[in-house]
Amino acid sequence: MKPRKIIAGNWKMNNTRAQTRELIENIIPKAENAACEVVICVPFTDLETAVNLTHTGNIRVAAQNCHFEKSGAFTGEISVDMLKEIGAEYVVIGHSERRQYFGETDVTVNKKVVAALESGLSVIVCVGETLDEREQGITREVVARQVKIALIGVKSLENTVIAYEPVWAIGTGKTATDDQANEVCAFIRETVKDIYGESAASGLTIQYGGSMNAKNAAGLLAQPDINGGLIGGASLKAEDFGVIIAACTL
């Protein structure tokens, strides 16, 4: 089975409700005839607006984080059932900014992945090495560890997407070369194959993320093991996001 191609825009902590409305209205025509699935990963406060504006089109809505407990004394957190109820279909888990600034660990990533999948959400699990780890030559060890721990207890990969996001490329304007990005994505597929077998691995959507933009998207998305992108900065501009969506062919 061939993987679904998915272009996802990670808005991070950007866009009020009014800005969300305007950006989505501009993205809708770009996504209309897309060959890939289009996902927008919006702040919690924009979820309802995003769901209402996209429910008839082919744009899916994602949250950028969740908690792994069902409910309780976890001030400031949002449960997977709350996300389901509001109409989100995906949740991004383990983004490097959450690992870096908010104490996310491989273990909490795993708990969130399990909770989200159990609730019926799809997950985009982010993995990737820091510059220091790349320079030490341990990219594969780091990525394999992140992938394996994230997937503990996950029986089927049907609703799982993995995003390879080298930390040194996120928001820095430094993109991995087509070959560098494809090499690690292929390695992730091999790692998954060892656990889930050939058919699950070959059907898994693996995205690249890290300063993907309107200029470099076509080269990255043409790589055999890259099945889409997770895009930060460039997803905030409908024109650029539209070019990236158009570059994601079957």
Q: Measured from the CB atom, is 39 or 116 closer to ligand PEP? A: 39
Can you say whether residue 87 is alpha, beta or left, with left for phi > 0 and alpha for psi between -120 and 50 degrees?
Answer: left
Distance separating alpha carbons of residues 219 and 200, to the nearest angstrom: 25
Q: Does 209 bind ligand PEP (CB under 6 A)?
A: yes
CA nearest 85: which of 72, 98, 66, 108? 66
Q: Does 46 bind ligand PEP (CB under 6 A)?
A: no
> For residues 189 and 201, is the Cβ–Cβ distance under 8 A?
yes
Q: Quote the least distance from Cβ 15 to ligand PEP, whole Å.
A: 14
Instruction: Name which position in 6, 42, 154, 230 contacts ligand PEP (CB under 6 A).
Output: 230
Q: Quote the least distance from Cβ 213 to ligand PEP, whole Å.
A: 7
Instruction: Name which position in 3, 228, 232, 242 contacts ligand PEP (CB under 6 A).
Output: 232
Q: Phi/psi of residue 120, each to 5°?
A: 100, 5
Which stretch in 26-34, 74-82, 150-158, 163-171 sits in contact with ligand PEP by CB under 6 A? 163-171
> For residues 119 and 81, is the Cβ–Cβ distance under 8 A?
yes
| Local structure of 98: helix, strand or coil | helix
Q: Does 65 bind ligand PEP (CB under 6 A)?
A: no
> For residues 66 and 83, is the Cβ–Cβ distance under 8 A?
yes
Instruction: Name which position in 212, 220, 226, 247 contacts ligand PEP (CB under 6 A).
Output: 212
Q: How far is CA 196 from CA 20, 141, 192, in A?
A: 38, 19, 6
Instruction: Name which position in 31, 113, 147, 170 contacts ligand PEP (CB under 6 A).
Output: 170
Q: Does 104 bind ligand PEP (CB under 6 A)?
A: no
Q: Does 171 bind ligand PEP (CB under 6 A)?
A: yes
Distance separating alpha carbons of residues 95 and 146, to the nearest angstrom: 12
Active site residues: 95, 165
Q: Does 247 bind ligand PEP (CB under 6 A)?
A: no
Q: Does 207 bind ligand PEP (CB under 6 A)?
A: no
> For residues 184 and 223, is the Cβ–Cβ distance under 8 A?
no
In this structure, the number of other CB atoms found within 10 A of the CB of residue 52 comes to: 14
How many residues form the binding site for ligand PEP (CB under 6 A)?
Answer: 14
Q: Quote the least distance from Cβ 63 to ligand PEP, whole Å.
A: 14
Contact footprint for ligand PEP (CB under 6 A): 10, 12, 165, 170-171, 209-212, 230-234
